Amino acid sequence: MSATNPYIPRILLAFDFDRTLATDSVDAICAAYGIERSAWERDYEEALGDGWDDIIRRGQGLLNLGQNRGRPLGPDMIAEAAKHLRLYDGVEAMPDLLRAAATEIDPEIEVEFVVLSSGFDEIIAESGIGRVFDRILAGGWHEVDGVFTCVKRIIDHPEKALYLEALGKGADVDGSNGPERAGDAVDKADMHCPFDQMIYLGDGASDLQAFGFLTRAGGLAIAIDEDDVFEAPEQTETQRVETLAPPDYSEGGKLLEVLRHGVRAGAHRIAMRKAGRDQ
């Protein structure tokens, strides 16, 4: 058995979407239908009553809104809603800047960018983030003849931790029960990306389990907050993050500086492991 940890030249950054990479997608859909978010919550989401999974209720409330307005939710309305959605400043340039920071330390390093969201992939994809990110993992609607008829897939808040584990291990996340193999034991040498070379960014209480899993596993967690004040009363000590930053990825801003530090930390760890490989 090798005395050193394996050299795996890969860093993985996973991001929540709403209020982490972009403005809120539900707000954007409400704007496309000409209704205030608070009114939609009262008349369509809360009106469904108790006993619902929160994410399924959100999706069904949006479907009911479209049906009530005579403009069923589907790709056409999602395209309209995306006009009300804005990627935060610097998001599209950020991946290349961070890849450059990593390869300055070791030119073999690959840096992967993943959206991991409890939102819906149809509007996330329409935002254009797929042009610069490698993968989008999110919920989705079932489409029939250009109309969304029901919610077919969700990623609930605790599942984000399972997805991070699966991403690190290289386990399948696309099956009907994915990521069902996240808990399987994987030899360190067979990891897709060691957890201590992973970073997760999120904006709220829905990200606490992801924060907790990754920090316990040796990775880095960063909280995004407009006012640099992250408030989650239910947060435990193990769910603390490394730092807070506002959602601006522009050159010269705090968040890009923080991400460069995180990527370089991972890259230096990789470089040490490269130097320590058994000959």
Q: How confident is the model over 181-194, as a mean pLDDT? A: 86
Q: What is the pLDDT of residue 279?
A: 47
Cβ atoms of residues 13 and 261 within 8 Å:
no
Whether residue 63 is found in the same domain as residue 197:
no
Whether residue 144 is found in the same domain as residue 210:
yes
Whether residue 77 is found in the same domain as residue 91:
no
- pLDDT, tens digit, for every residue of 208-260? 999 999 999 999 999 998 765 555 555 555 567 888 999 999 999 999 999 99
% pLDDT > 70, the chain: 92
Q: How confident is the model over 90-113, as a mean pLDDT? A: 98
- Residue 3 located in a structural domain: no
Segment among 87-96, 143-152, 223-232, 251-260 with least mean pLDDT? 223-232
Choose between 237 and 137: higher pLDDT. Answer: 137
Q: How confident is the model over 67-71, as a mean pLDDT? A: 97
Q: What is the pLDDT of residue 206?
A: 80
- Residue 64 located in a structural domain: yes
- Can you tell me the distance from the alpha carbon of 165 to that of 10, in angstroms, rounded to the nearest whole number? 15
- Residue 1 located in a structural domain: no
- Domain range for 97 is 10-23+86-275
- Residue 143 located in a structural domain: yes
> 3-state SS string over the chain?
CCCCCCCCCEEEEEECCECCCECCHHHHHHHHHCCCHHHHHHHHHHHHCCCCCHHHHHHHHHHHHHHHCCCCCCHHHHHHHHCCCCECCCCCCHHHHHHHHHHCCCCCCEEEEEEEEEEEHHHHHHCCHHHCCCEEEEEEEEEECCEEEEEEECCCCCHHHHHHHHHHHCCCCCCCCCCCCCCCCCCHHHCCCCHHHEEEEECCHHHHHHHHHHHHCCCEEEEECCCCCCCCCCCCHHHCCCEEECCCCCCCCHHHHHHHHHHHHHHHHHHHHHHCCCC
Whether residue 30 is found in the same domain as residue 150:
no
Amino acid at 156: D
Count up the domains in the chain and report the number.
2
